[in-house]
Amino acid sequence: MSQSRSLSWLTVPTPLPSGPMHVAVTPLGVASAGYLEHLDELPRCTDESKIAAVTGRMADYLAGRRRELGLPIDWSLSSGPHRAVLQTLWRDVPYGRTITYGELAARSGVFEDVAEPGLAARTVGQMMAANPVALLVPCHRVVAADGIGGFGGGRVGIEVKRWLLTLEGVLEPTLDWNGPL
């Protein structure tokens, strides 16, 4: 059976502005995690140990009790340059730190032959929008050179990015902050 056919899904409650996250697991680990997906007719995860690990670690992270999720990642939904950029982000940008789109492009080594100014940074932005394992591979830590940058999901997506960066201490809490202190 291929990895894609062995995906099973669970819903994880979160305090994020987007609401619950939807997570797909395989025998290798978490293959997909998203903020705005719908699970209506997808196979549900029934493995209680996986459900407990994913929900518990995500709850602890989002409550500020852990800085690393520590969940295994199944990288099968990304490949080539996209996977290389995601793995660079996952490996090199820790909790409470950010990196610009351009810096991540350079650090990944994927864009060494790209001469057009800004193209590598824009491409990294598109790669972050297509990150199959959001939160586990912290695309919220990738910012524009002149500000917070974008985030998938429109206005709610930017609110999620701002919430996560506030949780990690990158941004100061605002008066409407509803996260852990």
3-class SS at 11? Answer: strand
* Rounded Cα–Cα distance for residues 4 and 122 (Å): 29
Structure tokens of 107?
């650090």
* Rounded Cα–Cα distance for residues 139 and 149 (Å): 11
* Rounded Cα–Cα distance for residues 181 and 168 (Å): 11
Task: Kindly provide the residue ranges of all beta strands, DSSP E only, lying in 71-169, ordered along the sequence.
Answer: 99-100, 142-143
Q: Which residues are catalytic?
A: 139
Residue-by-residue DSSP string for 86-120: HHHHHHH--TT--EEHHHHHHHH-TTTT--STTHH
Residue-by-residue DSSP string for 131-150: -TBBTTB-GGGEEBTTB---
CB 14 within 8 A of CB 57: no
